[in-house]
Structures are given as structure tokens and as C-alpha cells.
Chain A
Amino acid sequence: MAGAARRGGSAVYRSRDPVRNLRLRVSYCAQGFPAVVLYLWCCQFEVDLYLNESACQTPLDWQYHEEIRKLEKAGGRKNCRIFTYTDHDRFTNLEELCQKVTDLDHEVPSYLVERMANVRRRRQDRRPVEASSLKSKIITWEPSEEFIKNNHVINTPVQTMYIMGDLGPYGKLGHREYENVLCTIKVDSNGVITVKPDFTGTKGAYRIELDGEKREVWEYTIENASAQVQPEEEEREQRVFRELYGRHRDYLSGLVGSDFEMPLPGTLRLLVNGEIVSAQGYEYDNLYVHFFLELPNQWSSSPFQQLSGVTQTCATKAVGWDNVAYFCYPFSVEMFYTQEDEDSLPQWPVLYFEVLSLDFWQRYRVEGYGSLVLPTCPGVHVLTIPTWRPVGLGPVAEMRRFFIGGSPELEDLTYARIPSTFQGKRLSRFGFRTETTGSVTFRLCCLQQSRAFLENSALRQRMQSVLDRLGGFSQQSSVYNVLEAFQRARRRMQEARESLPQDLINTSASAVPQPLDP
């Protein structure tokens, strides 16, 4: 025989078929004697079952029955050399406990090993518990021993079968010391079949060398002899699955509809879902925030869109060194950007806000002004904006603020950034005195939507500037329409192609006449 292979590691297979359909062919030969071939079914006890006529019900059972009768008639089971141990045998228990994992000389199985072995063996007898039944009692106040054993360790039920070879000298069969494990097959309830060592295939037979005077060498091969699934059946199964998934997908889309709200061509829709989270570090208590959004040129919003808001008045509490006020005020703003002029860069909207305090005696003070430019890239942004308030010259303004409230205020809130009335090139704030106060935290989720993003899916991944993406649509609207119609038709053709059954496409390919060879 060609070079014998070393008994390698295990191989794992997955199958949803019941384990009874697994058939193996084991052939062995010892030193030149002719090979003996044996077919084994995976459940050994079924051999005895089929012997009993009353247990045979299906034609397959009868067939098994006939084969076993033939075996019996031919002088008992001729080969007593190969037999199996399953979970019902004592061998399995010992094997599980005594399995060594490291190369320590005296490896002793730990307590956990014993518990796991107990649990695995016990589980085969029980039916799987229905997981969907709602238990009325969630807590077990006095767990029993068995309950503890089952729930403290993993208990995947595993069926094990050992294919043993009795390699004793002819005539001295049946002795325990000559039993060698040829193959171990483990099947668990999820359809995972572990075969150790793997099927021989093309590798060549496995060898076992016996210790003893003669040092006999046995070679054996294991092959998978299970009936393969017919291609038509497999095709039918695939078709059923595909239909099922397709129907489920249609049902889902039927619930909602397949259309989606799209902005007009050539516009960018910016949707900001944000929250004013908190304000911290301010002098006085009972704070509230008043904010508004300023849209530059080329930006617009629907007339129903609220672009400003006032939060609730919140009393602060001490967290660490700061006094914080929690607002948790959600707002949602939708804006549209249309590019008129290709050369100018787009200006992004700005959120201006002021923090004020209003106390019990209705003294009203300005605590701070701040501004926030909306983020240009979509995503989640948490921003903490520091604020300042204007301070007047001399102590009188501050004393007035302390005793009766009222403080210097900005007439135009946009002064916090660039005043809307500013025309020149250089903004000078010389002479304007302010004092730093606390800060306000915002959490913004920005979304952008535009038809231009549909064009190039690869570019969408990179964070390119919006300018590139929108490029000059207002002048090329007619060209755009034509392109869009073409894309739509192409997509429809692709979808139609996908939904065609595979064999139709294949036969159509083969129907093309092949050129004749000269």
C-alpha cells in the first residue's frame, strides 16, 4: 500500500440530516491478509432493533432486517473484530473522564470535568425542553441538585460512538487489552458531526502498530458511505427556501411601501436631530437656554419648520466641582441647500444660543452667549461650547446684576460670531469686555440626503466636500434628467435579470450557436 498516513486530527462536518443516515465503510487488513470491508450504521443499537421483525415498519427497515438476517445466517457476525461503543456503554464514561489534554504525567480530571461528563450522559435520555414555553415562575427559590448540575455547566447533548477494533491474534478475540479505538464520531443536537480521525480519502490508510513480540501492523481506512442527496432534491430544497425568503421580503416591503421621500434634484437636505443636553459651570441657578438657527444664503427651510426654541427652566445640582443643569431638550431641524453659484463655497448654518437664569424673585440675568456651527459631516457629534457674557465698565453694572437682575445684553445675538450686519473685511471687537462663564453641551445627529449621492457609490464612502458632489446641477438639469432615466432603466434591467430562475439564463447561454471548428 502507498505510504500510510498518520492519524491526524478531527474533522468537523455539518448536516441537518438525522444521524441515522450516516453510513461508514471501514476496511482493514493486517499484514497482507485480504482486506475486509464492513458497513456500519451510526446507531449500533439499531442493528439489534432491526433483527426483531416487529420493529420493522418501512421498506428500508425491512431491507436492514434482510441484510442482518443474511449476516446472521453466514455464521454470526463474521467479523467480530470491529464493533462499536456508544453512549450506553461503560467505555464512553471512562473515556470521557480519562481523556488527557496536556502532557502532564499525572493529569487528574478536575471536578468540572466530572460534572460535565455527568450532564452530557444524562442529557441523552431526556427530550429537549421546549424553549418557547413561558415559565410562570422566573426564580427558583430552592434549586434541586439536578437543577444545579444542569444549569451551572453547558449542556449541549452530544452522542458519541467509538468504532473499536479488536486487534488481538486470531483466536484470541474478545480481550480488553487488544481493543483500540479506530474512530470517534460525535454528533450534537445542532447537526455538527465531529469525526476523529478524519475519513481517509486519498491520504492512504491509517496504521496501528501493536506492542508485543510480533509488532503487528494493522492498516485501516474509513470512508463516508452515506447516500448523497440527489441534485434534483437539493435544487427543490433551494427553490423552496428562496420562495420563502422572497415571500417574507415582499411581506415586509408591503407593510411599508417601497418608496422613499427624496429631495428635489440639485439640493442637499440636511437633517439635524439634536439635543441640548446640559449646561454646566454657571453662576446662578434656574437656567434655561434660548436658541435659534441662522440660515445663510442659498439655504432654505419649510415655513412650518421651527428654527428656534426655549428649553425648560432647570435647577442645578452639584456633580463633581460643577453645578450642572440637565435639559435633555430634543429638536429636529430640516434645511435645504441649493447651489446657485459654482464658485462660492457653501456656508453652513449656525446655531446661536444664550443661557439665562430666572430666579424665584423673577430676577432675570444673562449667563452667557455662544454659537455653534453645524457639523459638515454626517454622524453623531457631541459638542461642548463655552460661553461668555458681556461685562460693563465699573462695579455698578455688576452690583445691579447681583441685586435686581438685569445685565448688559447683546442686541443682536449674531454678534457672538459674525454679526449679520457686518460688511467689511476685518471685524474688530476692541473695547468689548466679556467674562467667561460656563459651557453648554449639545448632542447632534446630522444626516445628509441628496440625489447626487446616488451617482457614485465608491465616492460616497470617502468624506468629500459637498461642492464636488453637487457640481453645477442647476445648469445641467436636462442632462441630469437623461442620465437619471438611464440609470433607472439599467437598475430595472439588473433587478429583472436577478429574479430570473438560474436555469433559464443557462439554457439561453447554451442556445447561442457555437461557431463550427474549421
Chain B
Amino acid sequence: MAELHLFGQIESGCGFSERRLFCKWGLHAGAAWTLLAGAGAGQTQLDDPQVGDAAQWGHPLDLHLATKGLQGWPRLLLEVWHVDGWGRRGLAGYGVCHVPSAPGCHRVTCVTWRPRPTRRQRLLAPGGPELREPAAAAGAADRFRLRTEAAGTVRLQLGVLARHMGRFGVAL
């Protein structure tokens, strides 16, 4: 079996239309992958930036994965939510990015989108429509059914370390 170590942090989120944001993250991988150590999902704290619009989270990621095959390379699914002054939660964006396959330190900028709200929803409710199956955002099936709009970007710093990949003839 080959192993993959992933560590780093979800650094910040910026460019969203709202300011008080938190991020839910989850790791999705194929059936050949097993999570040996580390939490596979989590949620950052709620951050309210005083200067600028970048919400700084600094949420640590530390995962140890093992795999029997290369298919189903792990992806990180990010959901950014915002909380308004009255404590209501609304969706700010969905984003998905593949875990970088090359070993080393990577700065990943994951862009996000969200389903387009109607004008009434924009006025009254925080956020807009949410996906019935949030995990579907991690995949590409049926994406063409969605009407979305561009939201902000999430910055991640990821360090990737692979082990025994060379033993199975994998060039990373």
C-alpha cells in the first residue's frame, strides 16, 4: 500500500459578499483510500474581519491516508457559510479542489460558487438556495443542472508527503 500525508491549514477566505464567515471542510476520496489518522472533516471558527474582507481562519489539517490504487484521488470539499447579525446562517459558497499530487508545499487557491438566489431571496434571506446533497458539489455529475454565481476564494496551504509511491511505479 502507498501512503499520503497531508498537512497544512485552511488559511483564509476572501472576496465573498459577506464578512462574518466560517468554513466547513471535508475530505472525499475513492473506495481504495483509507483514512488512517486525522479527522476527515471539520469546521473552522467564525471570523469577523475588522480590516478588509478576508476572514482569517488558520485551521490546521493533518491527515494520513493509505491507498490501494490511484483512482479516486482525494478532494477537499469546502463550504463557506456566513452568519449575519441576527445569528442566521446562510451559504456563501461551495468549492472543491483536488489534493495536490506532487510532494511539497503548495499554496492552493480554491474558488467557490453558490447557487444563484432569486431577487427576493437576496433581499430577505441570508445566503441563498443550498444544495440538497452538499457532497454532490464534490463531484461533477449533474453540474449542468445548476445555475450558479461566482463567490469568493479560499486560500489553503497544503504540504503533501507521499510514501511508497515509487515502489509501485508511480511518478508523482
A257 within 8 A of B: yes
Contact in complex: B98, A326 (CB < 8 Å) = no
Checking B150, B153, B172 against A447 with a beta-carbon cut-off of 8 angstroms, the contacting residue is: B172
| Residues of chain A lying within 8 A (CB to CB) of residue B98 | 273-275, 330, 443, 445
Q: Kindly identify, within residues 403 to 456 of chain A, every residue whose CB is under 8 Å from any CB belonging to chain B.
A: 443, 445-454
B43 within 8 A of A: no
How far apart sit A486 and B140, CA to CA, in the bound complex (Å)? 44
B139 within 8 A of A: yes
| Residues of chain B lying within 8 A (CB to CB) of residue A260 | 1-2, 67-69, 167-168
| Residues of chain B lying within 8 A (CB to CB) of residue A338 | none
| Residues of chain A lying within 8 A (CB to CB) of residue B2 | 260
- Flag the segment in A16-24, A27-35, A307-315 that touches B: A307-315
Output the least CB separation between A285 and chain B (Å).
10
How far apart sit A453 and B172, CA to CA, in the bound complex (Å)? 11
Q: Which residue of A lies closest to B143 (CB)?
A: A312
Q: Which residue of B lies closest to A314 (CB)?
A: B148
Q: Kindly identify, within residues 264 to 288 of chain A, every residue whose CB is under 8 Å from any CB belonging to chain B.
A: 269, 271, 273-275, 277-278, 286, 288
How far apart sit A457 and B66, CA to CA, in the bound complex (Å)? 22
Q: Kindly identify, within residues 244 to 269 of chain A, every residue whose CB is under 8 Å from any CB belonging to chain B.
A: 252-253, 255-263, 269
A355 within 8 A of B: no
Q: How many residues of B contact A (CB 8 A)?
A: 49
How far apart sit A275 and B153, CA to CA, in the bound complex (Å)? 15
| Residues of chain B lying within 8 A (CB to CB) of residue A269 | 70
Q: Which residue of B lies closest to A379 (CB)?
A: B102
How far apart sit A262 and B2, CA to CA, in the bound complex (Å)? 12
Q: How many residues of A contact B (CB 8 A)?
A: 56
Given contacts A310-B143, A314-B150, A325-B150, are A460 and B101 in contact (CB under 8 A)? no
Contact in complex: A312, B146 (CB < 8 Å) = yes
| Residues of chain A lying within 8 A (CB to CB) of residue B145 | 312
B85 within 8 A of A: no
Contact in complex: B139, A450 (CB < 8 Å) = no
| Residues of chain B lying within 8 A (CB to CB) of residue A454 | 167-169
Query: Could you write out 25 A-B pairs with CB less than 8 Å apart?
Result: A255-B66, A256-B1, A256-B34, A256-B36, A260-B67, A261-B70, A262-B169, A273-B73, A273-B98, A275-B98, A277-B111, A310-B144, A312-B144, A313-B148, A314-B149, A316-B149, A324-B150, A325-B150, A326-B111, A326-B153, A328-B113, A329-B140, A330-B140, A445-B102, A447-B171
B→A interface (CB under 8 Å): 1-2, 15, 32, 34, 36, 66-73, 75, 94-98, 100-102, 106, 110-113, 116, 138-140, 143-151, 153, 166-172
A→B interface (CB under 8 Å): 252-253, 255-263, 269, 271, 273-275, 277-278, 286, 288, 309-317, 319, 324-332, 334, 378-380, 443, 445-454, 457, 460
